[in-house]
Amino acid sequence: MCYGVYMNRYQIYLNPNSVNTLDQLSTEINLSRSQIIRDVIDRMAREYKKLLDAREAKRLKNNPLLKMAGFAKGGKPGISRNVNQIYLKD
């Protein structure tokens, strides 16, 4: 993974069984436990970001003001052309 100029330090609590598994994996694949944890968190953050983006897109799609704007933009053809005929009718 490519990281920015710096990383922030955080303290977290991990289940001892998870740490044992990470240590075994670390030995097997020759990566530090910290790097494995960063990789897993980065991947999960990307997946959660997709969920957040999809939720935001759905929220925007269901926004009543945006729906009205879409109606005005793509409403029935001819309505705006016939306004003068409707309101200026004698």
Q: What is the pLDDT, as a whole number, of residue 79?
A: 56
pTM: 0.58
* pLDDT tens-digit series, residues 35-83: 999 999 999 999 999 999 988 888 777 777 766 665 555 555 555 556 6
CA–centroid distance for 18 within its chain: 28
Q: How far is CA 87 from CA 71, 73, 74, 80, in A?
A: 21, 21, 22, 11
